[in-house]
Amino acid sequence: MKNIAIKKHNIITLLVILSFYAYLSKMITGSDAFLAISVFIAIIVIPIFVVTSKDKVNIFYLSMMVLSILVVILSSFFSRSYDEISAFVGIIYVATSCSLCWAINESGKELFIARMCFYAFFIYTLPFFIINNIVNPDGYNDILAGASRNIVSAIFILLSCFHMAAYIKENNKYPILVQLISFICCFMLFGRSGILISFIILSISLVNSFKKTTSFTIILIIGAALAYFIYDIQDYVMTKTNFALGTDSPRSMMLDQYFSNMDLRSLLFGNEYLSCCNEIVRFENNPHNSFIMGHARYGIFHTLIIASLLAYTVIRARLIAVILFIIALTRYAVDQIGLFSPMDFTLLYLAFCMKK
């Protein structure tokens, strides 16, 4: 019986990785066939193996999963900016991310899964970094089908948060290599939010991975190097990255338009892009903000779900999980990357699998 249990855990691990790889293939090629494979594995095959491999099932987690899906179904009927197909896809995404998180926790190989997910994505993007370098920044927009380089940096950050959480949970230590790779990649992708957030994650790893004297020495060396190359760094950042555009951007205009034209009905059921936000319409109804997208699609119910998830994380999860959760939400606020999408399994893992 022990050998059978081990095999089932291995199968669960393999299914999680296959589902993620299928979704990654969907993002790379734009093919809905890969999305269908990912969803089929996540919401049909994985639950069968998870349930049959355990004597007891986490009723609370299943109840929260079903409740969230029901809320999404009901609230999507009132959407004023998205059609029924978009709502249906959102429901599938909720189920997929919940199932992936559930299976990751039950696999007993969270760190292995985290490494396989991160390094697979990194190995795929590596040729683009080698070919494009700083010669052709627009080439980074070809990494994923129909998605900009900002989405690429967002995926790096989410997978980096997932890896850090899994690593700390297993070893009670802070990793460095993955976070360093993530920061370098985000820096090469030129996005302001990606550079800042990945640097914060790397800084957390550095500070907690060394003794105080070693940390001070590293910070001193980095500070001296920055001071020595300050003018070259400033020229690169202000001319090659999105900092050249300043702090104002179309994203801030979208945010201002969405909330400045809101009445009670819009607050409850979501705003209508055509009547409130010509800046969002100009970008093909992409608000570049997961919270605006979620509110427009599901209304106040979406906001309540996210607030409840954050509150649960603060109350039940470890401090580092809360920090990473807030960092991930910060990245969600500057791109339409999740809430809801299969990548939300990172948030769910931080909330439910990093208990105090």
Distance set, CA 308 to CA 95, 100, 111, 121 (Å): 18, 20, 27, 31
Give me the chain's average pLDDT, please: 81
Rounded to a whole number of angstroms, the distance between the first and last alpha carbons of the chain is: 31
Determine the pLDDT at residue 137. Answer: 61
Nearest to 114 by CA among 177, 70, 54: 177
pLDDT digits (tens, 9 = 90+) for 130-189: 887 655 666 788 899 878 888 999 999 999 999 999 999 998 889 999 999 999 999 888
Determine the pLDDT at residue 1. Answer: 41
| pLDDT winner (highest mean) among 19-23, 68-72, 124-128, 273-277 | 19-23
pLDDT digits (tens, 9 = 90+) for 221-243: 666 665 555 555 555 555 554 54
Determine the pLDDT at residue 88. Answer: 76
Distance set, CA 192 to CA 228, 298, 333 (Å): 23, 29, 13
Q: Which helix (H) or strand (E) holds 218?
A: helix 212-228
Tell me the C-alpha distance between 38 and 44, whole Å: 10
Q: Which helix (H) or strand (E) holds 48?
A: helix 46-52
Determine the pLDDT at residue 139. Answer: 73
pLDDT digits (tens, 9 = 90+) for 274-321: 777 778 878 777 788 888 888 888 888 888 889 999 999 999 999 999
Cβ atoms of 26 and 35 closer than 8 Å: yes
